[in-house]
Amino acid sequence: MAGRESVFRHLDSGTAPDGVGPSRLVGAVAERASLLYKRRQQYQARIEGSIAGALLIMLVAVNLDFRPDAEFVIEVQEQDVAVIEEIQQTEHIERPPPPPRPPVPIEVPNDELLDEEALALDAEIDFDEPLDLPPPPPPAAVQDEEPEIFVVVEEMPELIGGVASLQSAVRYPEVARLAGLEGVVVVQLVINEDGTPSNPIILRSAGEILNDAAVEALLKQRFKPGRQRGKPVRVQMAFPVTFRLS
């Protein structure tokens, strides 16, 4: 302690402050040390007493019975048990219908006479006399049958002017040009006996605008008709029309 060191330093040097003797200093130091020891003993006693009190409270809290006196009884109602009885299907026996009642006999008197009809059995047949027969039915009207359409013939139709004539007749739609639409349209046609195209069918589409332009160009063309056994016939063919921006 700083105070103790200062006291002993004065004692060792043989000098002391005025009015303070060595015995008084020693007594003050001893009294102060005794006071500190008592305070330490009291502090330790307080700590131990607090711990003991806490343990006592815990023991009391554990041993207390917090259960209420009244007992709660939960009554479980018995559920009605449904018993399913197997119902046996009754067998329906179909009985035959009763026989029809016999007709009531009608009594016919025996003395009723039937009138005899006079039959002319002396008729003569003349085979030379012309017979009156109904007129014959009119002949059935012959319907105009549509000529047969061939797919392959001995001489296939030829496009007059070739592919160059077809492509020159194609008008590129301005809307498709501005939109940048390109493609190939395949159109199926029927080449008639006179070389005119008909019945266009789109087999491959590149857009409705380009389809219409391809059909319009093909219907303007003329063909050398196809022939089968030397006669012009109708032939079905397919033609591609190319739309490409240069």
Contacts of 215 (CB under 8 A, 6+ apart): 187, 200, 202
Domain 149-243 - what CATH class?
Answer: alpha beta
What is the DSSP secondary-structure string of 94-136? PPPPPPPPPPPP----TT--PPPPP--------TTSPP-PPPP
Pairing of strands 149-150, 223-224: unpaired
57 or 94: which leads in pLDDT: 57
Least confident stretch, 30-44, 141-155, 217-231: 141-155
When pLDDT is averaged across residues 172-189 and rounded to a whole number, the result is 90
User: What's the token pair of residue 113?
Assistant: 């006479």
pLDDT band at 161 (very low <50, low <70, confident <90, very high): confident
* 195 neighbors 223 (Cβ within 8 angstroms): yes
Q: Could you tell me the residue ranges of all domains in the chain?
A: 2-51, 149-243
Q: Give the pLDDT confidence of 28-68 residue by residue, as tens digits.
A: 888 888 888 888 888 888 888 889 888 888 888 777 765 65
Q: Which of 206, 200, 199 is nearest to 172 (CA)?
A: 206
Q: Which residues of 50-88 are buried (b: 16+ CB within 10 A; e: fewer)?
A: eeeeeeeeeeeeeeeeeeeeeeeeeeeeeeeeeeeeeee
* 230 neighbors 180 (Cβ within 8 angstroms): no
Q: Where are the alpha helices (DSSP H) in the chain?
A: 2-13, 22-63, 162-169, 174-179, 208-219
pLDDT, residue 41, reads: 85
pLDDT, residue 142, reads: 45
Pairing of strands 149-150, 231-243: parallel
> What Cα–Cα distance (Å) separates residue 193 from each residue in 66, 225, 233?
114, 6, 5
Contacts of 235 (CB under 8 A, 6+ apart): 149, 150, 151, 153, 156, 157, 190, 191, 225, 226
Q: Give the pTM.
A: 0.41
C-alpha to C-alpha distance for 132 and 231, rounded to whole angstroms: 49
C-alpha to C-alpha distance for 185 and 206, rounded to whole angstroms: 6
